[in-house]
Amino acid sequence: MVGVLPTSNRSVVWVGAKKLEIQQRPVTSPGDHEVLVEIVSTGICGSDCHNYESDKVSRQLVLGHESSGIIVQVGQKVKDRSVGQRVAVEPGFACMECEFCVRGNTNTCANLKYCGLDPTDGTLCQYFTCRASMTVPIPDNVSWGEAGAIQPLAIAVQLGRRAALNAHQTLAIFGCGPLGLLILAVAKAYGVKKIVMFDIEESRTKFAESYGADVGIVTHKNDSGKDSLTFAQDFATEIIQKHDIGSGFDVAVEASGAEVCAQMAVCIQAGLGKPLTAVPLFLLTAKDLTIKGTVRYTPGCFEEAISLLSRKMVNLKPLITSTYPLTEASKAFEAQHARKDIKIVIMNQQ
Ligand SMILES: [Zn+2]
Ligand SMILES: [Zn+2]
């Protein structure tokens, strides 16, 4: 069943601070329970860039973790995947044996291996071998461009689960970057009643409005002389009154990492901020609030993300602002570093 392996496997390798190389890497023959995927598209994001900017290269690592492609070989014992099938690759390989995995919380697996994070090579290559169960089928009506952003959409779906997003809520999203916009897309698909988005850049709040936010609000720096908590609280009160949010947002998602946002309102922390952030805990008690964190995705999130795309409940096309051939990955990472694009997708076979 295992056929001849492809001879070319151009891979994007991180060799130093802001230094990538295209290297030929061997193609691994799929084991009994594995498949070989010809990768077609891969989104890149802030966490790839975090590697790229660092000089802490412990080994020459292949980057990338947001990929989709076509199965070209299946292992002897694979029953439910077939050659020619379009699939997304789940990049987190949970051990399925630790306490967290056994409880179904594979996103916090104690032994998690993650594509593009040392020691696990990523998917910015032409061919990738993985367990068949780590591939999720994609219907034909989802474009390859959108398929390159299924993984971040799955993260937004997981956030939707954590926040129990539903049609009766008002939602504040802090940060109009890719993560904030994906959360907006999921919230719209779930029928959330009113969504207000915040960012420090007007171009981003304007885009969020064009992408479905009810209101986009530019937040300004605190030059009022007030302490940061009073400033944040006064600003929040003003917004709630002006935009008729009743006695406050039902759910607030922090997708920017900025401390001042956490002081305005936080129910779900999704952005990676500084390690220590001052949060007004007294409000937690006074208002009987709940704060949750969210990381990666849990079983079923990929399937739900793909279903949203296939049913046209979510349209990722407006978010994909550039595509690059794999051979020009350096340019793609420079653009990601410059943060001018929303979502960049690399075409792995080009
Ligand atoms: Zn990512
Ligand atoms: Zn585990």
Under the banding of pLDDT at 50, 70 and 90, the label for residue 57 is confident
pLDDT at residue 350, rounded to an integer: 96
Residues 231 and 195 in one domain: yes
Residues 185 and 170 in one domain: yes
What average pLDDT score do residues 58-67 get? 92
**Both structure tokens of 36:** 């070989």
125 belongs to a structural domain: yes
Expressed in angstroms and rounded, the spacing between residue 206 Cα and the centre of ligand 1 is: 24
Residues 329 and 254 in one domain: no
Residues 55 and 178 in one domain: no
Please name which ligand lies nearest the alpha carbon of 110: 2
For residue 80, is pLDDT > 90? yes
Residues 140 and 205 in one domain: no
Query: Who wins on pLDDT, 203 or 284?
Result: 203
pLDDT digits (tens, 9 = 90+) for 9-37: 999 999 999 999 999 999 999 999 999 99
Residues 115 and 207 in one domain: no
Query: Who wins on pLDDT, 274 or 239?
Result: 239
- Under 8 Å between Cβ of 290 and 252: no
Q: Which residues contact 4 (CB under 8 A, 6 or more apart)?
A: none
Residues 191 and 226 in one domain: yes
128 belongs to a structural domain: yes
What average pLDDT score do residues 329-338 get? 94
Residues 176 and 268 in one domain: yes
pLDDT digits (tens, 9 = 90+) for 208-217: 999 999 999 9
4 belongs to a structural domain: no
Residues 158 and 59 in one domain: no
Expressed in angstroms and rounded, the spacing between residue 134 Cα and the centre of ligand 2 is: 14
What average pLDDT score do residues 48-68 get? 89
Cα distance between residue 235 and residue 220, in whole Å: 10
Residues 174 and 145 in one domain: no
Nearest to 112 by CA among 275, 297, 293: 297
Amino acid at the residue 349? Q
Under the banding of pLDDT at 50, 70 and 90, the label for residue 333 is very high
Expressed in angstroms and rounded, the spacing between residue 80 Cα and the centre of ligand 1 is: 27
pLDDT at residue 264, rounded to an integer: 63
Expressed in angstroms and rounded, the spacing between residue 293 Cα and the centre of ligand 1 is: 17
Query: Who wins on pLDDT, 341 or 282?
Result: 341
Residues 118 and 242 in one domain: no
Expressed in angstroms and rounded, the spacing between residue 94 Cα and the centre of ligand 2 is: 5
**Mean pLDDT for the chain overall:** 91
pLDDT at residue 248, rounded to an integer: 85
Under the banding of pLDDT at 50, 70 and 90, the label for residue 271 is low
pLDDT at residue 67, rounded to an integer: 98
What average pLDDT score do residues 146-162 get? 95
pLDDT at residue 93, rounded to an integer: 92
pLDDT at residue 274, rounded to an integer: 66
For residue 74, is pLDDT > 70? yes
99-113, 191-205, 268-282: range with lowest mean pLDDT: 268-282
Cα distance between residue 189 and residue 173, in whole Å: 15
Expressed in angstroms and rounded, the spacing between residue 2 Cα and the centre of ligand 1 is: 31
Q: What is the DSSP letter of 328?
A: G
Please name which ligand lies nearest the alpha carbon of 148: 1
Please name which ligand lies nearest the alpha carbon of 152: 1
**Both structure tokens of 18:** 């802001």
pLDDT digits (tens, 9 = 90+) for 171-184: 999 999 999 999 99
Expressed in angstroms and rounded, the spacing between residue 104 Cα and the centre of ligand 2 is: 9
Expressed in angstroms and rounded, the spacing between residue 302 Cα and the centre of ligand 2 is: 18
pLDDT at residue 139, rounded to an integer: 98
Under the banding of pLDDT at 50, 70 and 90, the label for residue 320 is very high
pLDDT at residue 227, rounded to an integer: 85
Expressed in angstroms and rounded, the spacing between residue 45 Cα and the centre of ligand 1 is: 5
What average pLDDT score do residues 151-177 get? 94
300 belongs to a structural domain: no
What domain range is 138 assigned to? 10-149+316-347
What average pLDDT score do residues 34-61 get? 90
Under the banding of pLDDT at 50, 70 and 90, the label for residue 143 is very high
Expressed in angstroms and rounded, the spacing between residue 66 Cα and the centre of ligand 1 is: 6
Under the banding of pLDDT at 50, 70 and 90, the label for residue 287 is confident
Please name which ligand lies nearest the alpha carbon of 47: 1
Give me the CATH number covering residue 338: 3.90.180.10
Residues 252 and 122 in one domain: no
Q: Give the three-class secondary structure for 161.
A: helix
For residue 257, is pLDDT > 70? no
20 belongs to a structural domain: yes
136 belongs to a structural domain: yes
Please name which ligand lies nearest the alpha carbon of 117: 1
Q: How buried is residue 59: exposed, middle or buried, by Cβ count under 10 Å (0-12/13-18/19+)? A: exposed
301 belongs to a structural domain: no
Q: What is the DSSP letter of 125?
A: B
Q: Report the domain count for the chain.
A: 2
Amino acid at the residue 38? E
What average pLDDT score do residues 241-247 get? 87
Give me the CATH number covering residue 289: 3.40.50.720
Please name which ligand lies nearest the alpha carbon of 107: 2
pLDDT at residue 295, rounded to an integer: 82
2 belongs to a structural domain: no
Cα distance between residue 346 and residue 229, in whole Å: 42
pLDDT at residue 307, rounded to an integer: 98
Expressed in angstroms and rounded, the spacing between residue 102 Cα and the centre of ligand 2 is: 7
For residue 1, is pLDDT > 60? no
Expressed in angstroms and rounded, the spacing between residue 114 Cα and the centre of ligand 2 is: 12
pLDDT at residue 2, rounded to an integer: 55
